[in-house]
Structure formats: structure tokens, C-alpha cells
Amino acid sequence: METLVGKKAPKFEAKAVINGSEIVDAYSLEQFVGKKEVIFFFYPLDFTFVCPTELLAFEEKLEEFKKKNVEVVGCSIDSEFSHWAWLQTDKNNGGIKGVTYPIVADLSKTIAENYGVLAGEYDFDEDGNSVFNGAPVAYRGLFLIDKKGVVRHSVINDLPLGRSVDEALRMVDALQHFEEYGEVCPANWKEGDDAMKATQDGVADYLSNH
């Protein structure tokens, strides 16, 4: 599938759990357009092993995202009721109690499919019956969406591979630095490092000093 980077993030309206306990019927990322960036991430399933470590890690860093005016939103193919139950389950029992950012329910799998992270596809068998080939869950996809609703960064991990929340924060810093100063960010750049002017002279200046 073609990358979404540089394109408008696919729109959706879906049920979600917000504030750790409140179910809403029509959650959408459109509410943040023109106001803030969004980290929108997918995980395979509720009540699993790697997934709670990721969701809790995002919650641990949530204040840092908020200080940068970034909304964090999770999503899986589970129902809103499964999300709610998981959010009420203590951490020592495999739950994610204490997570406060929104978690979207993608029971139809259409959001995951539109974002290119569904770990399989629908097909037909020789008798014409609809079948699903692969795993009917989402890969560990993450998308950084800017204030215009455009995807500026994405990363997709296979199911066993947990992702880095610190790297998501680094990419937010890089995007915001570029948006504010017009300077591009070289490899391994982090907030406070020198960036580069997006001109040939700027590249020469950077290389001569490093």
C-alpha cells in the first residue's frame, strides 16, 4: 500500500472511550485540525501481553505530549466495551487502569484498513465465501498528524515488536522545530541539537561544523 506520509489522514467517526471510563459514540480526529498535532497509534488487541506495556508507556509520557500541544489517541479492532473493561482492570492483572487518553473502537476494521495497518485482508474461497487471510488485527502502526490534518511521519511494527514512545516524542520535536524555524533535522537529532537550513549553503555550513 502507498504511504500516507504527505497526505491527509483518513477521516473516521467511531465509538471510543475517553477519560478512562466515558464511552462516546462519534469520536473523530477532525476536532484537532487547526488546533494541535496528533499521535494516532494502533495496537493489535486488548487484554494481551505487549499491548499494555505500550499503552501504559504512552500514559507515562502523556504530560510531555500535552506540553507540546499534542493529542495522543489509541485504536484497536476491539469494541468500546472491551476497551472500557480493560481500562477498569488493574495493571497487576494485565489491565491498563489509569490510562486517560482516548481509545478508539475499530470493530469493523475499516480504520485500520484505511490507515494501511490491517494485518491481513478479506478474500473469497473457492466456494465464494468471504474469508480473512492473515491476522484480523492491526499492526503496531503510529502516525504523526500535523495541525492541517496531514500525516508527517509513520512507522509500522509487526505484532511482536513494541515501539518507542521516546522516538514518537522526538519526531514531534523535529516536526515542531521545522514548523517554527524552517530548519530540517538530521539523523539522531533531538531537541536542543543544531538543525540545518534547507539550502545548499545551509548543508555546507552544518557539515563544516560537525
Catalytic residues: 51
| C-alpha cell of residue 182 | 524552517
Instruction: Give the sign of the dihedral formed by CA 116, CA 169, CA 16, CA 95.
Output: positive
139 in Cβ contact with 160 (< 8 Å): no
Rounded CA-CA distance 113/120 in Å is 9
Of 119, 42, 45, which Cα lies nearest the Cα of 85? Answer: 45
State the amino acid at position 89 in one-letter form.
T
Rounded CA-CA distance 77/202 in Å is 46
Rounded CA-CA distance 74/55 in Å is 8
Alpha helices per DSSP H over 20-61: 50-60
Rounded CA-CA distance 13/30 in Å is 9
